[in-house]
Amino acid sequence: MAKIKKQFTVIKGMHDILPEDFKLFAAVKSIIDKFASFYNFSPIETPVLESLELFERSSGQSTEVVQKQMFSLLTKGGDALAVRPEGTPGIVRAYIEHGLSHAPHPLKLYYYGYMFRYEKPQAGRYRQFHQAGFEIFSNEIDPIYDVQAILTSDRILEAIGIKNLTVQINSIGDKNCRPPYLEKLIKYYKSKSKLLCADCKERLKKNPLRLLDCKEDQCQELKLEAPKLLDFLDSNCRNHFRRVLEYLEDLHIPYMLNTSLVRGLDYYTKTVFEITAEGLDASLAGGGRYDYLAELLGGRKTPAVGVAIGIERVIEIIKAHNINLPMPKVKSKIFISQIGEAAKKKALSLIEDLRNEGILVAEALGKDSLRAQMKMADRYGADIGLILGQREVYEETIIVRDLKSGVQETVPLKRLAEELKKRLKTVGR
């Protein structure tokens, strides 16, 4: 009798990308690669396997990701490893290990690769999926970087052709203002503990902030009456958050305050956000600020903020809406510097206006000293400098300087794009 041959199939939650779909993945990646360089992010790649402890320490011992979703293994040599469920801890490890803190900051890093989570497979939720991640390391805790992380991911999703995007945003405070809030939260939930689902009873003991994340109906109801972290922010965190929202408004990025958004990872401080699209329950991208992570992993104190886009979810939307993918173009060497808060604010939206015209502009908006910014321009190899001060903002002009000859002129802002296009042609880059 002939033996019945075993038919192998793809492992649950994993998926093959066949040639037709591969074209879509490649087109999306090509857009993201171009945007990453357009927004001054340098590519980095870290291994898929890292030490198990790296994720326990950074993503958080008591998070779902670490507790339930990690593919972990013991090597023949006895090392406890995990297949990465997310990119951020590996990037921070590499940042510390390779002394990247000595590179000019802000240091913007971009990665693209497979992540693995042992989740219940369903639409848009896989056990192996791609993320495109963006991390910004800086010397200063400046809300401009939070906005740049949001802006980068939002603009990429928009350029791919996804409509009706919403940025859901919240602030979860920092180590100064979160403890008093947690006390109140625990007190509130203890008084309701009988009504909690089994998982939330555990969360109450191990990680009370996660109570706000629960999707069970009974816990959703309790959440409505729970104390809100926003009411407990100290002046530093409140001010930071206010400026993030102001910058978003200046850039006309629609956002929705979501006071129960806490994210599923433990390293966040201050700003947290997710980007959602109409018709999709889950988020397309998620991120936030994580100012303590480098220190927690043995590095020096390094403010940082980042975001990751889920590629499979992007592909699902592209297919569902029959989106034709556009491709960005353009290359140039322009650097903008600003002096003073009004100029900084103006520069942020001006850069967007120029990008919309297809003109790439590099910047270090988180730096306030002109000297530091000019140094960055030099390192970047810019040949055209744009300088915006209080006076220029007031007069709606900008200084355009040929960085090679030092010759400069003041140009009305409304003629700037035209002037730069002319100059770029003559520079021939």
- The CB-of-264 to ligand HAM minimum distance in angstroms stands at 6
| Residue placing its CB nearer to ligand HAM in the complex, 115 or 393 | 115
3-state class of 359 per DSSP? coil
Q: Kindly state whether residue 131 participates in binding ligand HAM, applying the rule CB under 6 A.
A: yes
Question: How far is the C-alpha of 359 from the C-alpha of 420, rounded, in Å?
Answer: 8
Instruction: Specify which residues 114 forms β-bridges with.
Output: 130
According to the binding rule CB under 6 A, does residue 117 interact with ligand HAM?
yes
Q: Is 165 among the residues that bind ligand HAM (CB under 6 A)?
A: no
Question: Least distance (Å) from ligand HAM to the CB of residue 108?
Answer: 12
Task: Give 140 or 409: the residue with its C-beta nearer to ligand HAM.
Answer: 140
> 3-class secondary structure for 147-175?
HHHHHHHHHHHHHHCCCCEEEEEEECCCC
Question: CB-wise, 309 or 351, nearer to ligand HAM?
Answer: 309
- Among 183, 185, 174, 175, CA closest to 211: 185
Under DSSP, the state recorded for 57 is I
Q: How far apart are CA 429 and CA 424, in angstroms?
A: 7
Using the contact rule CB under 6 A, the part of the chain among 47-55, 130-138, 171-179, 226-234 near ligand HAM is 130-138
Helix (H) or strand (E) holding 308: strand 304-310
User: Which of positions 307-346 make contact with ligand HAM (CB under 6 A)?
Assistant: 307-308, 310, 312-313
β-pairing, 384-388 vs 334-338, is: parallel
Intra-chain end-to-end CA distance of the chain, in Å:
72
Supply the minimum distance, in Å, between the C-beta of residue 23 and ligand HAM. Answer: 20
Residue from 41, 112, 129, 189 touching ligand HAM (CB under 6 A): that is 129
Q: How far is the CB of 110 from ligand HAM (least distance, A)?
A: 11
Report if residue 303 touches ligand HAM, rule: CB under 6 A. no
- Quote the least distance from Cβ 249 to ligand HAM, whole Å: 23
Question: Distance between CA 370 and CA 239 in Å, rounded?
Answer: 24
- Kindly tell me which of 108 and 345 has the beta carbon lying closer to ligand HAM: 108
Cα gap 44→131, rounded to integer Å: 13
8-state DSSP, 382: -
CA–CA distances in Å: residue 295 to residues 47, 103, 267, 304, 421: 21, 17, 11, 11, 44
Instruction: Report if residue 153 touches ligand HAM, rule: CB under 6 A.
Output: no
Residues 354-413 that bind ligand HAM (CB under 6 A): none
Nearer to ligand HAM, 276 or 338 (CB): 276
Size of the site for ligand HAM (CB under 6 A): 27
Of 247 and 290, nearer to ligand HAM (C-beta) is 290
How many helices (H) and strands (E) the chain has is answered by 15, 16
d(CA 244, CA 144): 7
**Contact residues for 160 (Cβ-Cβ < 8 A; gap 6+):** 28, 31, 314, 318, 323, 325
Stretch that binds ligand HAM, among 70-78, 122-130, 364-372, 385-393 (CB under 6 A): 122-130
Query: Nearest approach, Cβ of 310 to ligand HAM (angstroms)?
Result: 2
Output the six-digit token pair for 173.
Answer: 């405070």
Q: How far apart are CA 101 and CA 81, in angstroms?
A: 26
Q: How far is the CB of 321 from ligand HAM (least distance, A)?
A: 17
Using only C-alpha atoms, the chain has a radius of gyration, in whole angstroms, of: 23
Residue nearest to ligand HAM (CB): 310
Q: Contact, 372 vs 338, CB < 8 A? A: no
- Our CB check for ligand HAM shows the closer of 119 and 352 to be 119
Give whichever of 109 and 420 is closer to ligand HAM, judged by the CB atom.
109
Residue 133 in the binding site for ligand HAM (CB under 6 A): yes
Considering only residues 258 to 297 of the shown chain, the ones binding ligand HAM according to CB under 6 A are 264-265, 283-288, 290
Q: Which residues pair with 167 in a beta bridge?
A: 255, 275
The interface mask with ligand HAM, positions 213-252, x = CB under 6 A, is ----------------------------------------
- 306 counts as binding ligand HAM under rule CB under 6 A: yes
Q: Is 88 in the site for ligand HAM (CB under 6 A)?
A: yes
Q: Applying CB under 6 A, which residues contact ligand HAM?
A: 86-88, 117, 119, 124-126, 129, 131, 133, 135, 264-265, 283-288, 290, 306-308, 310, 312-313
